[in-house]
Chain A
Amino acid sequence: MSVLGVTAIVVFGVASVVTGWLVFRTDSMVRAAYWLMASFVGVGAMLVTLDSQFLGLILILMMAGEMTIMAIFMVMYMMNPAGLNPMVMVHQHRTAIAAGVGSFLLLATVALVADFPADPAPAGADPTAELGFELLGRSMLVFESAGVALLAVMIGAVAVAGKWGRFGDADAGSVEPPLDPEEAAS
């Protein structure tokens, strides 16, 4: 890999880790969604550097749409829609930090200690075309299964989120959130 490639990997890697961290450090829901998108763009750029142009770009394309949907959902359902007020909404904080740091240390140790076989992808090949032939050739069943799963999820998501339910309208008998914070806490 060239010097430029290594530099790009380091820059994008650090950027995607930092922006991923900022997702949970920001006070604004919209910023959180777009920090997450920035993290995905960083990973997408690393994928492009690793000869997987198609996958990297598809990842970015998917995430841009998904993050906007996410921002809309947050403003629809979550508190503090458009503000920058201080916001800490966490539970079991210490356990979560320990789990996060623990999983990082475990995986990083494995990454550094394990001995990986060195068999790099050939330089001259066109991975995009190879992936296309693989998707619609030998591994068509896998690809089609993913498609069928997505179709099932579309139907399932509409069924779950729809206003109608098995026992009448889904919001029948629903409870408005209490306006009094003390009552909300109890």
Chain B
Amino acid sequence: MNPVVSVLFVGGVLGIGAYVVAVLDRAFGPVSRGPRDWFVWPIRRAAFLAVQRRTETERPDAEAWILAPALLAALAAAGLTAVPVTPSLAVADVSAGVVLFGAAMIIVMVAVFLQGWSPNSLFPLIGAYRFAAMALSFGIPFSLVVLTTAIPAESLSVGAIVASQEGLWNVVRQPLGLPVYLVTGAAVAFWGPFRIPEGTDLAGGAVLEASGSARAVWRIARAGVLVTLSVMGAAIFLGGHLGPVLPGWAWTALKTLVLLAVFVWSGHAFARMRVERFVWFGWVVLLPVALVDVFASGILAL
């Protein structure tokens, strides 16, 4: 794909996706005043943050503080490039596409850690540590379920993984894959029940000191990570652009929207988990389940 078109495409998908996330969040949220309010609220909120005054802290790590939201947005964009939206349209369907996606999602940990660490303030730092503890617990199950989808395709390229689901989607072929992906995916985007680094018990945690445009970019980037996770989840578990009647891009959009709705809904349906419980959950429950998923798919492939 042409470089300029690629940049516009990725930016457009992330921008529209972030808006959809905000609309859904308002719609599922406790304060919901009808459809008009759903669509207006994100814009009003963004306008408020755009003119809000920036907080200053004592001796922050200024460069890292500015770069952390940009890094998060860049990671969302990098993960998105590997996914083919239609059979022929992908920014870069590289031969190790799911590894690219996995690497981008693991570096989210670095962005959150920098965001929490750089203001030189107590609660954000605690939030950063919480996310580091969390990320080390969900990182392995997340990578395992994503890479397992490559077993039936016999290729690490996302295009080949989508093509391998022609007869049977991976959500049926690997029944353990999608649930683990949804749980760990929500944790990657520290969304919903896993809003641990930004918990209200820390008065906002990692983003406590971020305000104004920095906070707005951080929020948009986090929604962008959620969009990337949904697009990739739709591609590797729900057959991506495959489907009858409708054109490929419409199927991708539809499946992405379903996953996005599940992610956003989970934020309002479940209570936030405590971090030590999540660490236990990650190592004792998610990791064995992910390993069973790998072995079952391996046996099936033989």
Residues of A within 8 A of B (CB): 28, 30-31, 34, 37, 53-54, 57-58, 60-61, 64-65, 67-69, 71-72, 82-84, 126-129
Main secondary structure of the interface of B (DSSP, over half): helix
Sort A-B residue pairs by CB-CB distance and give the 3 closest, nearest first: A61-B103, A57-B99, A54-B96
Contact of B136 among A60, A68, A126 (CB under 8 A): A68
**Nearest CB to that of A61 among chain B residues?**
B103
Q: A57-B103, A82-B120, A128-B156 are in contact. Are A65 and B94 (CB under 8 A)?
A: no
Asked whether B61 lies within 8 Å of A31 as measured between CB atoms, the reply is yes
Chain B, 54-75, contact with A by CB distance < 8 Å: what is the 0/1 string?
0000010100100000000000
> 16 additional contacts, CB 8 Å, given A30-B117, A57-B100?
A28-B61, A30-B61, A53-B100, A54-B156, A58-B99, A58-B103, A61-B102, A61-B143, A64-B103, A64-B107, A64-B110, A65-B135, A68-B132, A68-B135, A128-B95, A128-B96
Decide if B199 is an interface residue (CB 8 Å cutoff). no
Q: Roughly how many angstroms separate A67 CA and B117 CA in the complex, as a whole number?
A: 14
Contact of B103 among A60, A72, A126 (CB under 8 A): A60
Decide if B106 is an interface residue (CB 8 Å cutoff). yes
Main secondary structure of the interface of A (DSSP, over half): helix
Which B residues are CB-close (under 8 A) to A53? 94-96, 99-100
Chain B, 168-195, contact with A by CB distance < 8 Å: what is the 0/1 string?
0000000000000000000000000000
Which B residues are CB-close (under 8 A) to A28? 61
Which A residues are CB-close (under 8 A) to B120? 82-84
Contact of B109 among A54, A64, A126 (CB under 8 A): A64
Asked whether A65 lies within 8 Å of B61 as measured between CB atoms, the reply is no
Asked whether B99 lies within 8 Å of A72 as measured between CB atoms, the reply is no
Q: Roughly how many angstroms separate A67 CA and B109 CA in the complex, as a whole number?
A: 10
Asked whether A37 lies within 8 Å of B64 as measured between CB atoms, the reply is no
Which A residues are CB-close (under 8 A) to B109? 64-65, 68
Which A residues are CB-close (under 8 A) to B96? 53-54, 57, 128
User: What's the nearest-Cβ distance from chain B to residue A19, in Å?
Assistant: 13
Chain B, 62-105, contact with A by CB distance < 8 Å: what is the 0/1 string?
00100000000000000000000000000000111001101100
**Nearest CB to that of B129 among chain A residues?**
A72
Q: Roughly how many angstroms separate A69 CA and B107 CA in the complex, as a whole number?
A: 12
Q: Roughly how many angstroms separate A72 CA and B131 CA in the complex, as a whole number?
A: 11
Decide if B155 is an interface residue (CB 8 Å cutoff). yes
**Nearest CB to that of B139 among chain A residues?**
A65
Which B residues are CB-close (under 8 A) to A127? 95
Asked whether B61 lies within 8 Å of A61 as measured between CB atoms, the reply is no
Decide if B229 is an interface residue (CB 8 Å cutoff). no
Which A residues are CB-close (under 8 A) to B156? 54, 128
Chain B, 211-223, contact with A by CB distance < 8 Å: what is the 0/1 string?
0000000000000
Interface hits, B123-138 → A, CB 8 Å: 125, 129, 132, 135-136
Decide if B113 is an interface residue (CB 8 Å cutoff). yes
Contact of B99 among A61, A71, A83, A129 (CB under 8 A): A61
Which B residues are CB-close (under 8 A) to A34? 64, 110, 114
Q: Roughly how many angstroms separate A54 CA and B155 CA in the complex, as a whole number?
A: 11
